[in-house]
Amino acid sequence: MPLRQPESVEECVYYTRRNVDKGHVTCWVFREKCPKCGKAMMGKPRDAKTRKVKIRAKEYICLECNHTVPKEQYEDTLTASISYTCPKCANKGETQIPFKRKSFEGVKALVFPCQKCSQKISITKKMKAIGEPDEEELPNA
């Protein structure tokens, strides 16, 4: 069964399209309904003056009942949907994995195996190169 594609980025917590060597990866994570009221979708809070989303917020909030959930707790319950073309064997496939970033060659990334050749494919955080250490992992001098 094919994965449901998002109609808009607004319905996603995370969305990216990347070229990985000779392959291609599209990853999206749908927003979930509020665990308290179940009516509205959870989202990051908005600035009162500009009405823009606070992208660095540490919590998600229900727009209907104002229920607040910490970012880590909310994101651990989400599922990433991935459509990809493997850079090694050119297999086209789709998969779903938990939305948890793991350390992969020194960088935080979503890592999943190709369904055909089991090659590990990673989706790194934006602007991170594999082998380049994360700021969080650097020792303080």
What confidence tier does 127 reach under pLDDT thresholds 50, 70, 90? low
Question: With 90 as the cut, is the pLDDT of residue 81 above it?
Answer: yes
Indicate the domain borders of the chain.
Answer: 31-77, 79-141
The tokens 């650097």 sit on which residue?
A: 138
What does pTM read for this prediction? Answer: 0.79
Rounded-to-integer distance, Cα 10 and Cα 68, Å: 19
Q: How confident is the model over 8-37, as pLDDT tens digits?
A: 888 899 999 988 888 899 999 999 898 888
Question: With 90 as the cut, is the pLDDT of residue 139 above it?
Answer: no
Rounded-to-integer distance, Cα 58 and Cα 86, Å: 34
Residue 45 near residue 59, CB atoms below 8 Å: yes
Question: With 80 as the cut, is the pLDDT of residue 77 above it?
Answer: yes
Give, for 75, the enclosing helix (H) or strand (E).
helix 71-75
Structure tokens at 53: 């989303």
Question: With 60 as the cut, is the pLDDT of residue 136 above it?
Answer: no
Whole-number percent of the chain with pLDDT over 70: 88
pLDDT at 141: 47
